[in-house]
Structure 1
Amino acid sequence: MSLDLAFATKVFAALFAIMNPIANLPVFLSLTEGASVAVQRRVALIAAAGTAIGCTLSILAGRPILDAFGLSVDDFRLAGGLLVLLIALSMVQGSASHAHAATPSETARDLDPADVAIYPLTVPLLVGPGTIATLIIFGETARHAGKAVELAAGVSAFLVLLTGALLAAPFIGSHLSQTATAITRRLMGMILAAVAVEMMATSLRVLFPGLTR
């Protein structure tokens, strides 16, 4: 059986767009400002592990959550698509989404760098509502289409990239300009918007079959 590389790539691209390691590096650096290299690495590893756990739980718990509320995957896909589209539009406009952004109090300098690995770095900055909704939808799609291997490959590839980016944050941050960060955020916003539109279009075709006639 051949692997659906297109689906794996779509998963990778969606996670890269919504979590955007490059655009979030300045946030990581600000949260760990003044910390030693060893502490920064520890924060990066804890955040990467927390993100991996959050992604896994979102995929595995998707169906039980939908069943508990009596929702179909298409109901959730439409709502999730709208949520992801809102996040994408805020990224295109050059601002961080409120659903994933840390509040000013969360980025205060008096925070212990070791304490920010899970909150707010992992939740809600990386594993926010948009990420959870996207993974639940991809999880259900993979379950129905028999694409669990492709889903795992796409998520794993992104997590490896995220871990590398966080560990290399001090080096990358010293060479990354604000212009590059802004351009990356807008580009990822466009990709994420396309993913969101596809989610909504797919659910609308199922919920309203007459639209495809």
Structure 2
Amino acid sequence: MDNLITFSITVFTGFFAITNPISNMTVFLSLTQGDDRKTKQDINKRANIIAFIIVTVFILLGKFIFELFNISIPAFKITGGILIFFIGFEMLQSKKSNVKNIKNVDEDENIAISPLAIPILAGPGTIVTAMNFVANVEPLKIFLVIAIFGSMSIITYFTFSLSSYVVKIVGNNVISVIGKLMGLIIAIIGTGMVIQGIKISFSLMS
């Protein structure tokens, strides 16, 4: 039981850091600027549902994908860890990926799908993190990962719903600091994945 609780806390922390709902509030507000409340809520709900479906598919099909492309667990952990580390490093440096440049979003584009669901909520980092959590684990832990990401999607939905009020109260500077802290956590998670991959490769697991 203690192992499951520790695993659940680790998964939740990882998902919270990588999806970063607090920092992404400003992105959501910018993408939906000028829309009425109903439109914002529709976009918010659709984006989170799509993100949940995408990540769940990768969680359930992760083992099949590994076998299809002959991907070893150590190679995945090391490569995924490096990718996640650089995502966290960019957040610490306050750099934003080009795919999140909201100034270039086409007004006719369904922003709930792109860029909100993909890649902001269900980007490469989120997918790699999810697949890492279910790599070589029992079915119960796979179910836990899906359930935890589902709860994360619900939290993100309510965070985006309250984004206008939260930004006014705490200000952009506080949100920026939180974003950097999340970046540090993500970088640490990535480093941990690399270490795990190396240990498995050289049979150093205790």
Tell whether the structures are fold-level matches, with TM greater than 0.5.
yes
Q: CA RMSD in A?
A: 2.2
1:130 aligns with 2:125: yes
Question: SS at 2:134's partner residue?
Answer: helix
How many residues are matched? 206
Matches within 5 A, 1:35-184: 35-98=35-98, 101-104=99-102, 106-107=104-105, 111-112=107-108, 115-143=110-138, 146-184=140-178
Please, which moves more after superposition, 72-81 or 161-170?
161-170
What is the CA distance between 1:104 and its match in structure 2? 4.9
What is the percent sequence identity of the aligned residues?
A: 29
Q: Which runs of 5+ in 1 are unaligned?
A: none
What is the CA distance between 1:96 and its match in structure 2? 2.4
Partner of 1:205: 199
1:3–1:157 Cα change, 3 Å: farther
How many Å separate the matches in 1 of 2:46 and 2:205?
A: 46
1:17 aligns with 2:17: yes
What is the CA distance between 1:40 and its match in structure 2? 0.3
Per-residue Cα deviation, 1:158-202 (whole angstroms, up to 9, x for no partner)? 122111112222222332412112101110011111111111101
1:8–1:106 Cα change, 3 Å: farther
Partner of 1:26: 26
The one-letter code of the counterpart of 2:33 is E
1:201–1:66 Cα change, 3 Å: same
Partner of 2:4: 4
How many Å separate the matches in 2 of 1:9 and 1:134?
A: 14
TM-score normalised over the length of structure 1: 0.88
